[in-house]
Amino acid sequence: MRTPTGEVEVMPMKGDKYNDQEPNVLDLLKECHYSKKKGYRTDVVVDVLATNTKKNQFLQNVGFQRVSARSSLQNVQAQLEAQKAEKIELSKQLEEMKKKQADLEAKHQLVLSKVQSSEVN
């Protein structure tokens, strides 16, 4: 809408959805983070705030559960533990493959020796 002076008047979103009141910041945030397929994506906001902030006062103010912030040291330690577990698993798989390879080579040698002995005869 234009005012008599020609300026564009910005009308806030009102209506049945907001009971003819201006939406607050949380209402606008929900508008932007809603998907018909997945619903509200507040878990993304909680995860980002939990990992990137030291205090989660925002989450407490809007009524979400308190999420303890992890220090960068704790993050690095958790990452190191995951890498150690992966290394152990890969080492086990490597040992199993080495055993299978040794068995196959032994069988191959046995077959070769039988073929060579049958050719000599």
pLDDT tens digit sequence for 14-57: 556 667 777 777 777 677 666 666 666 666 666 666 666 666 56
> HEC profile for 57-69?
HHHHHCCCCCCCC
Q: Which pair of structure tokens corresponds to residue 19?
A: 């009971």
Domain with 83 in it = 70-121
Listed residues 69, 88, 103: the one ending a domain: 69
Task: Give the dihedral sign, CA 47/51/57/58.
Answer: negative
Specify whether 80 is located in the same domain as 39. Answer: no
Domain count, the chain: 2
Instruction: Let me know whether 41 and 58 are in one domain.
Output: yes
Mean pLDDT calculated for residue range 98-105: 97
**Residue 120: what pLDDT?**
79
Q: Which two tokens stand for residue 121?
A: 């005869």
Asked whether residue 58 falls in the same domain as residue 19, the answer is yes
Q: What is the pTM of this model?
A: 0.39
